[in-house]
Amino acid sequence: MRIVFAGTPEFAVPSLIAAARRNEVVAVYTQPDRPAGRGRALTPSPVKRAAVERGIEVFQPGSLKSQVSRDALAALRPDLLVVVAYGLILPKSILAIPKFGCWNVHASLLPRWRGAAPIQRAIEAGDTGTGVCLMQMEAGLDTGPVLLSQPLDIGPDETGGQLHDRLAELGAQVLSDGLGLLRAGMRPVPQPQPAEGVTYAHKLDKAEAKLDWSQPAQVLANKVRAFNPWPMAEAMVAGERLRIHAAVALPRERDAAPGTLLAAGRDGLDVACGEGALRIRTLQRDGGKAITAADFLNARRDLQVPRGA
């Protein structure tokens, strides 16, 4: 087969490696290089770096809506276009070019969590399970029929970053399974998505990272997990802005206004919430690195608040 691969972030790299295992990827599409780092130097995407390492030709159009873009893809004579977190809209005219259409690896069990941030939204919502779908693409947003799927449990303390890495590997496996069937002449049968259970995983916004202590502790604990490593939850604690890397929800033993520091010890900082309390276990001060609550209290001895005080 002649496969064209379209993807951009680190999540897509395992799928690119899987698709290229038999040297069938004739070209890679990825987003243009972006400024990054303190020097704002133009930086290639993880997918571009992986493609260059494997000697695969790379295309980086800013859009796929022009006739020039359509002609360039058609000239590659693709049997299949595999799309994994590409980040650009594919018009119907592009979807119609490959012989077997376009496949998408999506990090949820559709129709739950269509959209840009399915991994983080699943954790934020308190889901205990998720998975990967291999979907036949159509014009709608993640509305196409599902070819293959594989479920995955979400660990009770799992962060967005940890789940991202596991789903990236699972996505590569599901894609490999689909390609194996296609090579053997057993094209996966498209199954329409059910009309019930549709939810949308809207793109993450840095403004969401600011925790609101009036919310229930479990809601905030889910946000802390979901937003690690980005955009990373943050809140004011004892007059200091902290980025919160790890925290758990607890029942609250006494009445206090949301945001009140209830207790501070080596096992964490307990902050009153609208319901329950949030125990902050790992945190980061402005300009610092991630540290335990115990290390933080060594520097803030004024915060030694005994439990039950």
Percent of the chain with pLDDT over 70: 98
- Answer yes or no: do 58 and 103 share one domain: yes
* 109 assigned binding-site residue: yes
Residue 192 per-residue DSSP state: P
Report CA dihedral (48, 53, 57, 62) to the nearest 10 degrees. Answer: 10
Q: What average pLDDT does the segment 93-111 reach?
A: 97
- Does residue 177 carry a pLDDT above 50? yes
To 5 degrees, how large is the angle CA 183–CA 189–CA 194?
145
CA separation (Å) from 49 to 28, 33, 57, 59, 112? 11, 11, 11, 12, 32
Q: What are phi and psi of 169, to 5 degrees?
A: -70, -40
* 303 assigned binding-site residue: no
Token pair in block for residue 22: 């038999």
Nearest to 133 by CA among 90, 103, 159: 103
- Does residue 226 carry a pLDDT above 90? yes
Gyration radius (Cα) of the chain, Å: 23
Q: CA torsion sign, 35 to 246 to 225 to 151? A: positive
- Answer yes or no: do 225 and 183 share one domain: no
- Position 307 scores a pLDDT of 57
| Whole-angstrom distance, CA of residue 175 vs CA of residue 180 | 8
Of the residues 201, 226, 242, the one at which a domain ends = 201
Range of the domain at 220: 206-303
Q: For residues 309 and 192, which has the higher predicted lDDT (pLDDT)?
A: 192
Distance of CA 96 to the CA centre of its chain: 28
Q: What are phi and psi of 180, to 5 degrees?
A: -60, -45
2-6, 143-147, 253-257, 269-273 — which is least confidently predicted?
Answer: 253-257
- Answer yes or no: do 231 and 169 share one domain: no
How much is the pTM?
0.95
- Answer yes or no: do 39 and 103 share one domain: yes
- Does residue 308 carry a pLDDT above 80? no
Of the residues 186, 201, 216, the one at which a domain ends = 201
* 14 assigned binding-site residue: no
CA separation (Å) from 20 to 32, 54, 190? 21, 9, 24
Q: What average pLDDT does the segment 35-42 reach?
A: 84
| Whole-angstrom distance, CA of residue 35 vs CA of residue 45 | 11
Q: What average pLDDT does the segment 190-217 reach?
A: 96
- Answer yes or no: do 254 and 293 share one domain: yes
- Does residue 167 carry a pLDDT above 50? yes
- Answer yes or no: do 188 and 264 share one domain: no
Q: How confident is the model at residue 304 (pLDDT cuts 50, 70, 90)?
A: low
Domain assignment present for residue 108? The answer is: yes
- Answer yes or no: do 219 and 117 share one domain: no
Domain assignment present for residue 309? The answer is: no
Of the residues 201, 229, 253, the one at which a domain ends = 201
The secondary element (H helix, E strand) that includes residue 4 is strand 3-7
Nearest to 110 by CA among 85, 83, 129, 133: 133
- Position 36 scores a pLDDT of 84
- Position 309 scores a pLDDT of 47
Looking at every residue in the chain, the average pLDDT score rounds to: 95
Question: Any residues with CB less than 8 A from the CB of 149 and at least 6 apart, and which?
Answer: 109, 110, 131, 132, 133, 134, 174
Nearest to 134 by CA among 149, 120, 144: 149
The secondary element (H helix, E strand) that includes residue 174 is helix 160-183
β-pair partners for 280: 247, 269
Residue appearing with tokens 């490593």: 229
* 111 assigned binding-site residue: yes
| Whole-angstrom distance, CA of residue 253 vs CA of residue 262 | 9
- Does residue 103 carry a pLDDT above 60? yes
Indicate the burial class of 251 (C-beta count within 10 angstroms; 0-12, 13-18, 19 or more). exposed
- Answer yes or no: do 188 and 236 share one domain: no
- Does residue 215 carry a pLDDT above 50? yes
| Whole-angstrom distance, CA of residue 172 vs CA of residue 304 | 48
- Does residue 142 carry a pLDDT above 50? yes
- Answer yes or no: do 174 and 269 share one domain: no
CATH classification of the domain holding 249: 3.10.25.10
Q: For residues 253 and 158, which has the higher predicted lDDT (pLDDT)?
A: 158
Residue 152, SS3? strand
How many domains does the chain divide into?
2
